[in-house]
Structure 1
Amino acid sequence: MKAKNKFAAMLTVVTVGLTTSLSSVQAFSESSISENKRKPELVFPVISDVHIDDGSNADMNKFRTAMDQLNKAAPKQDAFVVVGDLTDYGYATEYDKFFSIYNEKKQADVQSMFTMGNHDYWNGLSVEKAQDRFLEKSGMDSLYYHKKVNGYDFITLSPENGNTHGLYSVNQINWLGEKLAAAEKENPDQPIFVFLHQHIKDTVYGSDLWGTQENKELLYDTLKKHPQVITFSGHSHYPLEDPRTIHQKDFTSVGTSSVSYLELEPGKLQGFHPEGYRDISQGMIVEVYNNEFIIKKRDFHKDDWTGKPWVIKNPSKKNKFKYTDDRDQLPPSFAGKDKASIVKEKSTLRSLNVTFPQAKDNLLVHSYHITAKNKVTGELDADFTAFSEFYQDPVPKNLEFPVAGLKPGTDYEIKVQALDSFNNSSKKVLLADGQTKALEMVSAQASPSLVTTGESTTLQVKMKNFGNDSVKGKIKVDAPEGWSVEHNELEYELSGSEEKNLPIKAIPSKESSGSSQFTITAYEGGQIIGSKNINVFVNMMLGEGFDQLDSALKPAVNENIPSSILGWSHKAPNGWSVTNSSNMPAGTEEWQGWSFTTKEFWTKAEDQDRSKFELGQGVIAVADPDEWDDNGSPASKGFFDSTLTSPSVKVEGAKDLYVGFASHYKQEGTQTAEVTAVFDNGEKQQVLVYDNKAASDNKNGHVLNKYEVKSINVPEDASSMKLQWRMHNAKNNWFWSIDDIRLDDQMIVSPN
C-alpha cells in the first residue's frame, strides 16, 4: 500500500449549516439541558489525554464512561475531537483498545478527528514510524489537516516528535497560517476551531509550564492575526474548574483537562498529583449557534456538569472578549464569624495541624497562603500555599492542613489568607495559636542486626528532649517469641535539651532462626511519643532489613512532603552499595536510583498501591522510576537504571543456597527488575526477573506484597558471592520495593 502523506491537507467536506439565535446561558444543570429547545448549528465533544495503558483497565473504563455520558448529553454530534495522548506509550495494542471502545461508542456519521500527543510517540519507534502507526490506527490521512463541518473550519495540528513540550515545525505553522487566512476570507466573522495537544504558551491555565516551547512566538503570532480563532489543547491535565482554563487576549484558548487523571501546578502543599487525582476525569461539549458558541464542562467521574458554561459571543471582535487576564479584581473573603484553630491531638514535634472554613469568591477560591510565626524569634518557620481543593467533588466546606517544618517545643502564631486564581487575596486573615511537642524518639536500631545462636544484640533507643523542662517516661519492648530481653520496660528521665541513648540487651533462644521483629514504643507519661519496628536476623548467611538506616533518614528535597517527616536516604547499609548507570539522567533527588525510605514517606510522595506493601516494615529499599521522572522529566532523556548490591558472602563448600526477600512490584512498559547472583569466579546466575514477558517470574503483571524465595546453585570453584537487585529499562513506569532479605543454605520459610 502506498504510504500516506503526513503533511498534506485532508479532503475538505462541506455540509450546509442551519441559522439560529441564542441568548446567554446564566445557569446550568442537568434539568436545564433537558429543557433547552434551541437547536445548535454544530455540536462536538472535545476530550484529551485518555492514556489507554496496556498495564491497566482503569483508563479504558474511564474512556468508556466518558463516551457514554457524551452520547447521552449530546445525542446528535457532528464531530468528535481527541486532542492527543490517545495512548500512554503508543503501543499498537493500546491503540487497538482505544479504538475498540471508540468505534463501538461513536455516533453514526460523526466526523472523527484525532491529533497525536507526546505519549503517542513513546513506543521506542522512530518518529516517522510512530507517526505511521498513529495514522494507520486512527484512520487520519495526515498529521495535520483541515476539515469543514457544517460549514465551520476545523484545523488540527500535531506535534512532530515526542518531546514533552512538542514541536510544531515552521512548515506546519506556515500551513496553519494559509488555512487561517483562507478561512477568514471565506467567513470573516465565523469562529475557526484549531485543535492541538500542547497548549499555546502563556495562554490557558497550565500553559506557563506545559505550553509550546520551540517556535512558540511564530505559532502565537500566526494565530494572533485571527481573533476568531478558538484553540483547544490538553497535555497539562489541569482542571476545568479554574477560570483561567479559558483565556482571551488576541484569540480564544481553551484547556480540555484529561479523561485519565488530574494534574495541577507544582509548589502547593498537596503537590501536582493531589490525593484522589486519578479519580478525576473531565471533558467538554461545544455547541455553536449563530454569532455565539457555548462550552459545557463535564465531570465524567460524577456524571454531571461542572460550573457554568463558557459563553463566547462573536469571537472575531476582540472588544467583546470577556475571559481576559484582568476579568477579576474582586478578592475572596472570609465571613465575620470564621475562625482558624489548631487540632491539638495531631500536634507533633515539628508540625501543627490548622483547620478553618473555606472563604468565598465570585469565581473561585484557588488556594490559601499559610504562615507560622515563631513567637520566640519572630521569624516565619513555615510559609507555604495549599490548594483549596476546588477540584474535589464535593469541594470540602472546611479544610485541615499540616503546618510543618516547625521547631520542637515552640509557640507559634498560624496565619491563613485566601487567594483566588488571579492572585487577589482576602483582606481578612484567620489566626490560631499552638505549641509543638518537645520529646522525640529519634531512632531505634539493633547492633548487630545479624547474630548467631548464643550471641546477643543491643537495641539502641535514642531519645531527645527539645524543651527546657525535664521530662520522664518509659521505653516498652515487645520481643519476639523465644527472645529474652534485659528490660521489657525501661524508665528514663531527660533534663532540658538533653539527648540520651538507652541500650537494651537481647538474646535469642537456641530455637530462634530467620527474621525476628521487635517493637519499641516510647511513652511520656501515658502518651505514646513514638513506635518503631526493628528486625534482627538469626543464624543466616545474610540478613538485612535496612532498619539500621533509621538515624540516616532526611527530610524531602524535591518531593512536596513536610520537613517534619524524616524519610529517605541514599546511604546504603554497611557493606551494601548502590550503583546508578552513568547514562541515567538526573531526576527527583529522593528517587535517584535505589533509595532507603519509610512507607510513610514513600506513600506521602504518592500512594498508587505503594501502601499495600504490608511485608515492608521500618526502613525499606525502593527503586521508583515513576517518582524519579516527576522532576525535570528525565524519562524523556534516558532510562532509570540502578543496582543495589549486597556485601560479599562466603559460599565455599556450599552447593545450594536460598534467598528470600519481601517484594512489592508494579509492571509497566519495558521496565525490567532482576536479581542476580555474582560469584568471585566471574559467573553470574539470574535468580529472578520481572518484565513484560509472559515467561518471566511476574508473567507481565504486578507482584504486590509477596515474599519471594529462590534457589541459587553455587559453582564448585566459587568461594564468595554477592547479590544484586537491578531496576532498568524504565521510563515513567512503576516501582519496586524490597525488604527482609535473607540468604541461607537451608530452605527459607516465607513469613506470609
Structure 2
Amino acid sequence: MKSKSNFWVILAALTLGLTVSFSSAQAFSESSSLVNNNRKPELVFPVISDVHIDNSSTIDDEKFKAAMNQLNKVAPDQDAFVVVGDLTDYGYETEYDKFFSIYNEKKQDGVNSLFTMGNHDYWNGLSIKDAQTRFLEKTAMESIYYHKKVNGYHFIALSPEDSTTHGLYTVDQINWLKKQLEAAEKDNPGEPIFVFLHQHIKDTVYGSDLWGTQENKELLYDTLKEYPQVITFSGHSHYPLEDPRTIHQKDFTSVGTSSVSYLELEPGKLQGFHPQGYRDISQGMVVEVYNNEVMIKKRDFHKDNWVGDPWVIKYPAKKNKFNYTEDRDHINPVFPTKADASIIEEKSTLRSLTIEFPQATDNLLVHSYQIKAKNLKSGEYDADFKAFSNFYYDPIPKKLEFPINGLQPGTTYEIEIQALDSFGNTSKTKLKTEGTTKALEMVSTQASPTLVTNGESTSIQVKMKNYGSKGVNGKIKIDAPTDWTLVNHEIAYELTGYEEKTLNVKATPSEAISGASEFTVTAYEGEQKIGSKDVQVLVNMMLGQNFDYLQSSLKPAVNEDIPDSILGWTSETPNGWTITNSSHMPAGTIEWQGWSFTTKDFWTKADTQEREDFDLGQGVIAVADPDEWDDNGSPASTGYFDSTLTSPSIKVKGDQNLSLGFASHYKQEGIQTAEVTAVFDNGEKQQVLIYDNKSTSDNGNSHVLNKYEVKSINVPEEASSMKLKWRMYNAKNNWFWAIDDIRLDDQMIVPPN
C-alpha cells in the first residue's frame, strides 16, 4: 500500500501544483475519545461496506486489514460488527475464504457478527439460490434476512434477493420487516432500531438517486416511515462520507457507509465517477449508543483519522426535531475577499484553457463549481460544466486548477466560476477572467502506405491548419531512421488566415531494412515548437497495423461525457478487419459496445484507472472495455461482454513458423478472459495467447500493463491462409484490453523500446 502519511499531500501537489491546503470541515482530534461528557456508551459497533475482496489482487485484502486494525484501536470494546454487503467482488468461494481469514483473525472476542449480501456477492455464475446458500455457509448467518438483539437493541438485516445492481427486496421480505419492526417497537418503545441493507433506499442519502432500490421502493419506504426511531445503514454507491447528504432524515434516519475498497462519485462532473486517487480512499464508521442519543463517527482508513465531526441523533426520535433534513442548509458559499481567477498561459492549447482560482468556503461543504466559457466573438457559451471541489481529499487543496476543454481555436473567452454547496446554494460572487486559445495546429501525421516492401516508397504526410485570421509561417522537420532516404528533411510553410495545407515528403528504405521504422515529425511556428508526433512504417512484413488510418473516421462522444470538439472513437474498421459481437451481448455504452478504435486522450477522458499508462499505444488504438461498457444501462447485470476483432486473410505456407507481435495493455478481474487465436483455411485453430484468472495463463492471473507481446505461430501443413482473432469475453463490469502496433512476419519480431 502507498504511505498513508504522505499520499494525499503528494497527490494534491501533483494534481494542482500546490502544497498549501485547508478544510472547511476540520476532523475532530484522534486523541479525543468523545465519550459524550464522560458517559460510557451502552452499545458500540462498527459498520463498513463494499470490501470487494477479489482473487486477482491483494490490494483490498490490505485495505480490509487496515480498516479492522483501526476499528479495533478506536473502538476496543465492540458489541457487534456489521458489513452491509459486497464482502466479495464475485462471490467466489476463495474470495469468501480470504475475507474470513482476515475477519476471523482481527475480530474481537465475543463480538456479534452481522453480514448482509450485496449484488457482487451474487456474481459468481451460480443460481440465485446457490449463491445465497454459499453466502450462508461462509458467513454462518441464519438467513439472508434476520433479526438479532444486541445489548437490548434491535438489529434487523436485509439482503437483496437477486444479482441486479439496484437490488430486489421482495414483498415477502418487506412484510417480514414490518413484523420485526412491530416486535421491536413493542419490546423497546421509542428506542433506536438499526436496519442494515446493501442498496440505499431510493431518494434518501447521497447517491440513492442513482444507486437506490427500484422495485418495491415505495413499499419499503412506507414500511419504515412509521418508525422515526429507525436508523438504516447502506453502502453500494461508494459515495464519500464528507458530503453532508450522506445522512438523511425525513420520516426516519438513513446513513450511507461509503466503501472500504474505493471511492465513487456522481456523474456529470469534470473529474468523472472515479477521480485521480479514488482507489486509495477507504472509509467506514463507528456507532456509539447512549441512553438519549446515537453518535456516528466517520473514519478515513486511508488517513487513519476521523472525518469531520460525528453525526448525533437524539432520542426519543421526533420527526419535527430532526436535524439532518433535506432543507437544513440555506447558506451560500463565499469566495475570499479580493479573490481572482487566472489563466495558466503555458497550459493553453488549441481547444482548451487552464484556470486557477482559490477555493470558496461554506458552513458545511463546498461541493463543486459551475464553470462557463463565453466565446466573446459569438456570445455563445462553448463550455459549461461542473467540477468537484476535491472535497473528498484530505487536506482539501487551497487552490484549484481545471482545464476547460471543448473551446474553439484562436478564440478569446470570458471564464466565469461560481461555487456550489451540497444543497444547491450558490455563491453570489462569480470569479471572472479572460484567455485566448492557440490558433495553429499540426492536425495529423501519417505514412501512406504504412506497409511497404523493398524498392517501394512511402509518403510522410503532415496536415497543418491555421484557425486564426492572421497569416502564419514556420517549418516542418522530419527525423528519419538510419538507411532511409528523404527528399527533404525540412519543409517551410506559409498559411493564410483559416488555411489548411497538407505537406508531403517522399521516403524510401534501403534494401537492408526490415521491420518497423519510426519517423519523428516536429512542427514549428516561426522558431517556436508547437508539437511533435511519431509516424511508423513497416517494411517487408506479412501484416502491419497501427490503426492510425482511422484518424479521419473518429467521432465525438455519444454516451460519454466528453466535449463534442474531441473526435476520439469509431467502430469503423481498417480495410479487411471486422468486429463481431456475440448475439447474447447486451447493449451498453455506445462507444464501447465491443471492440472500438479510439485515441488515448479520448479513452482516458472517459476514465483513467491506468488506461493512461499505455505508453506503447500511440495515435489510434483498439480497445475492448467492459468497465466503460457497463456504465450505461448496467448490461453486466444481464449478460457478458463478448467481442472479437479479426484481421484480414493473410497468405501463409504450410509448416511455416511465424512471429506475431503487438502492444498489449490489459487488466484482469474475475473470470474475464482475453485470447488471440489463429484460424486457418483448413479448419484448424491455434491459441496464440490467453489472459484469464488462472496462474498458468500468459498473464498468470495478473494485469499485463504496457507490454509488447511476441508469440510464435506454427502453420499447419495443409494451410494456405489464416486470420488472427483478438477476443475479449466472460467479462462483466471488469477491466479492459487495449492493443496497438500489430506485426506479423516469418522473421522474429523484435519488440520496440
Distance 2:221 2:523 in 1: 62
TM-score by length of 1: 0.94
Q: Are the aligned partners of 1:649 and 1:720 in contact in 2 as well (CA < 8 Å)?
A: yes
2:323 paired with 1:322:
yes
Name the SS of the counterpart of 1:221 in structure 2: helix
Q: Which residue of 2 aligns with 1:555?
A: 556
For 1:704, the aligned partner's letter is L
Q: Residues 555-634 of structure 1 correspond to what in structure 2 (within 5 A)?
A: 555-634=556-635
Q: Which residue of 2 aligns with 1:286?
A: 287
1:473 deviates by 1.3
Distance 2:298 2:182 in 1: 30
Inter-CA distance 694–336: structure 2 relative to 1 (3 Å threshold):
closer
1:602 deviates by 2.5
For residues 142-173 of structure 1, the C-alpha deviation after alignment (integer angstroms, 9 at most, x for no partner) is 11111111111111101111111111111110
Q: Which residue of 2 aligns with 1:175?
A: 176
Q: Which residue of 1 aligns with 2:14?
A: none
Distance 2:35 2:230 in 1: 30
**Structure 1 alignment gaps of length 5 or more:** 1-24
Name the SS of the counterpart of 2:713 in structure 1: strand
TM-score by length of 2: 0.94
Name the SS of the counterpart of 1:492 in structure 2: strand
- Larger deviation: 108-117 or 518-527? 518-527
Q: Which residue of 2 aligns with 1:5?
A: none
For residues 122-160 of structure 1, the C-alpha deviation after alignment (integer angstroms, 9 at most, x for no partner) is 000000000010001111111111111111111110111
1:547 deviates by 1.9
1:563 deviates by 4.4
What is the number of residues matched between the two proteins?
728
For 1:81, the aligned partner's letter is V
Distance 2:533 2:556 in 1: 18
- Larger deviation: 457-466 or 620-629? 620-629
2:30 paired with 1:30:
yes
For residues 27-49 of structure 1, the C-alpha deviation after alignment (integer angstroms, 9 at most, x for no partner) is 82212227863210111000000
Q: Residues 289-688 of structure 1 correspond to what in structure 2 (within 5 A)?
A: 289-652=290-653, 655-688=656-689
For residues 493-514 of structure 1, the C-alpha deviation after alignment (integer angstroms, 9 at most, x for no partner) is 1111111111111111221111
Name the SS of the counterpart of 1:339 in structure 2: coil
Q: Are the aligned partners of 1:270 and 1:560 in contact in 2 as well (CA < 8 Å)?
A: no
1:318 deviates by 1.2
- Larger deviation: 669-678 or 240-249? 669-678
For residues 214-254 of structure 1, the C-alpha deviation after alignment (integer angstroms, 9 at most, x for no partner) is 11010000000111100000000011010100000000000
Name the SS of the counterpart of 2:121 in structure 1: helix
Inter-CA distance 614–382: structure 2 relative to 1 (3 Å threshold):
closer
For 2:717, the aligned partner's letter is E
Q: Which residue of 2 aligns with 1:710?
A: 711
Distance 1:737 1:511 in 2: 32
Q: Which residue of 2 aligns with 1:130?
A: 131
Distance 2:393 2:695 in 1: 39
Q: Which residue of 2 aligns with 1:9?
A: none
Distance 2:26 2:417 in 1: 33
Q: Are the aligned partners of 1:671 and 1:733 in contact in 2 as well (CA < 8 Å)?
A: yes
Q: Are the aligned partners of 1:534 and 1:618 in contact in 2 as well (CA < 8 Å)?
A: no
Q: Are the aligned partners of 1:48 and 1:283 in contact in 2 as well (CA < 8 Å)?
A: yes
Q: Are the aligned partners of 1:556 and 1:568 in contact in 2 as well (CA < 8 Å)?
A: yes
Q: Are the aligned partners of 1:515 and 1:740 in contact in 2 as well (CA < 8 Å)?
A: no
1:93 deviates by 0.6
- Larger deviation: 373-382 or 479-488? 479-488
For residues 716-737 of structure 1, the C-alpha deviation after alignment (integer angstroms, 9 at most, x for no partner) is 3332221111111111112212
**Structure 2 alignment gaps of length 5 or more:** 1-24
Name the SS of the counterpart of 2:31 in structure 1: helix
Distance 2:394 2:561 in 1: 23
Name the SS of the counterpart of 1:31 in structure 2: coil
Q: Are the aligned partners of 2:153 and 2:193 in contact in 1 as well (CA < 8 Å)?
A: yes
Q: Which residue of 1 aligns with 2:12?
A: none
1:560 deviates by 3.4
For residues 358-377 of structure 1, the C-alpha deviation after alignment (integer angstroms, 9 at most, x for no partner) is 00100001110111111111
Q: Which residue of 2 aligns with 1:3?
A: none
Q: Are the aligned partners of 1:518 and 1:534 in contact in 2 as well (CA < 8 Å)?
A: yes
Q: Which residue of 2 aligns with 1:736?
A: 737
For 1:493, the aligned partner's letter is E
1:26 deviates by 11
1:408 deviates by 1.0
Inter-CA distance 324–88: structure 2 relative to 1 (3 Å threshold):
same
1:257 deviates by 0.4
Q: Are the aligned partners of 2:272 and 2:607 in contact in 1 as well (CA < 8 Å)?
A: no
For residues 322-358 of structure 1, the C-alpha deviation after alignment (integer angstroms, 9 at most, x for no partner) is 1001100111111221111111111111111111100
Distance 2:26 2:636 in 1: 45
Q: Which residue of 1 aligns with 2:101?
A: 100
Q: Are the aligned partners of 1:251 and 1:315 in contact in 2 as well (CA < 8 Å)?
A: no
Q: Are the aligned partners of 2:49 and 2:284 in contact in 1 as well (CA < 8 Å)?
A: yes
Q: Which residue of 2 aligns with 1:221?
A: 222
Q: Are the aligned partners of 2:35 and 2:41 in contact in 1 as well (CA < 8 Å)?
A: no
Name the SS of the counterpart of 1:32 in structure 2: coil
Q: Are the aligned partners of 2:56 and 2:693 in contact in 1 as well (CA < 8 Å)?
A: no
Q: Which residue of 1 aligns with 2:691?
A: 690
Name the SS of the counterpart of 1:269 in structure 2: coil
Inter-CA distance 377–611: structure 2 relative to 1 (3 Å threshold):
closer
For residues 692-712 of structure 1, the C-alpha deviation after alignment (integer angstroms, 9 at most, x for no partner) is 223322232222232222222
Superposed CA RMSD in Å reads 1.7
Distance 1:419 1:702 in 2: 39
Q: Which residue of 2 aligns with 1:239?
A: 240
Q: Are the aligned partners of 1:661 and 1:709 in contact in 2 as well (CA < 8 Å)?
A: yes
Name the SS of the counterpart of 2:64 in structure 1: helix
Q: Which residue of 2 aligns with 1:154?
A: 155
Inter-CA distance 26–554: structure 2 relative to 1 (3 Å threshold):
closer
